[in-house]
Structures are given as C-alpha cells and as structure tokens.
Amino acid sequence: MKVSVDLGKGTCSCRLWKIIGLPCRHACVALAYQNRRLEEYAHNWLTMGAYNAAYQTSMCPVPSQEYWEHLETFPILPPWYRKPIRRPTLKRDKRNDGPKEKSDPHRTTRRIGTIICNCKKQKEAMGKASFAPQAPADDEDEDMLAEMYYEETLEAAEAEQEATEEGNETATAHTPQQPHPMPPPPTAQPQPPTNNATTKK
C-alpha cells in the first residue's frame, strides 16, 4: 500500500495526521529520512504552551455533597427497575471486568481460532497441535481396511448363511416326500442234506 506525505501542508493520504494532530508513521519515516524533529510538526494544541495557557486562569471546583443547598421540592429518585420478561441468567456479567491477568507473561494467547486440517485423509479440527499426522504406510493400509470392514464382512457372511438355510428349508417343504422302497421278499434256498437222515431199504 503506497501513501503520499506532504510535509509542507502537514497531510498524509492515510488521513491520520489530520485526525489526531500528530505525525503518523508514514510522516515519521519521511521526517526521519530528512533529519527533522517530530515535535516541530505536531499541532499547537498539543504543546506545553497551549496546556499552560488553558489552565492559567483560576478554576472553581464543585463543592462536596455536604455543602449542597437543600430544597423543599421532591427528591430526585432513580428510575424504576423493570424486571425483564425472560428467565434471568445465572452467569456473571463480565463486560465491566478489567483485562485478564496472564498466568505466564512470556507466552502469548492464540487469537486465530481453531486450526483446520485441509488434508484429504484427515479433515478434523486440530487443537493445540500444529502439524497434521502423517499418512500410514502402504503395507498398513490393507490391515486398516480389513479392520474397518471386518464387521461388515461378518454381517454379510451371517446374512448369506441365514439366506441359504431358509432356502434349504423352503425347498424341503415344497418337495413331496417319496415312500421308501419295500425290501424284496426272501427267496427259499435249497438246504443241503444232513448226515442224520435215514434211508429206506
């Protein structure tokens, strides 16, 4: 950003010199380059002579409350307090508190908010860490994918097994049961003659 400084007119394009009456940082650089004093380019109202001239007359301070004149009129009361409609808050109002004391004066507080990682493999908001974790090695990808899809493959295998069992039950229910074949009747086999048989003469 380029600015133009006119030391003769006492102006700068940033317009801060005209607002506060003191040379801005651009004018200070220009004056230091020309070896000039900054006090010579300050407004006359900001000099000690103007300050002494403003307070050279006597000033009458306001007396304290005990010296006020008491009147017989109605006293001035504070305005009525109206209770708000909504539920009262339980948190203490911290707007009027002073600046918070730092536990460690040598450490600065982060004011840029949460750092967000824009990596494709990990899109998470990092807390205090300033570096994103490195990607796993190629040999670890298969193990990681196996662990990720272990439950899905297990559920798919169980569902397939249940489907096959249900299919077998329905097939056996629809097919008619055939009767078992009867065994063939036993055939009479000729018995050999025994030695105890008697022969007739």
Domain boundary among 16, 32, 54: 54
**Model pTM greater than 0.95?**
no
Predicted confidence at residue 201, as pLDDT, reads 47
Burial of 27 (0-12, 13-18, 19+ CB in 10 A): buried
d(CA 102, CA 105): 6
Residue 135 located in a structural domain: no
Spell out the residues 6+ positions from residue 37 whose beta carbon is closer than 8 angstroms to its own. 31
| pLDDT 10s digits, 117-140 | 666 555 555 554 445 455 555 555
Residue 105 located in a structural domain: no
CB 118 within 8 A of CB 124: no
Residue 189 located in a structural domain: no
- Number of domains within the chain: 2
CB 27 within 8 A of CB 17: yes
Q: Quick check: helix, strand or coil at residue 16?
A: helix
Between 125 and 74, name the one with better pLDDT: 74
Q: Quick check: helix, strand or coil at residue 115?
A: strand
Residue 194 located in a structural domain: no
| DSSP secondary structure letter of residue 189 | P
Helix residue ranges per DSSP H, 60-201:
138-148, 150-174
Confidence of residue 13 (pLDDT cuts 50, 70, 90): very high
Residue 147 located in a structural domain: yes
> Which range of residues forms the domain containing residue 164?
143-168
Residue 21 located in a structural domain: yes
Residue 41 located in a structural domain: yes
Predicted confidence at residue 14, as pLDDT, reads 92
First to last CA, the chain: 154
Residue 87 located in a structural domain: no
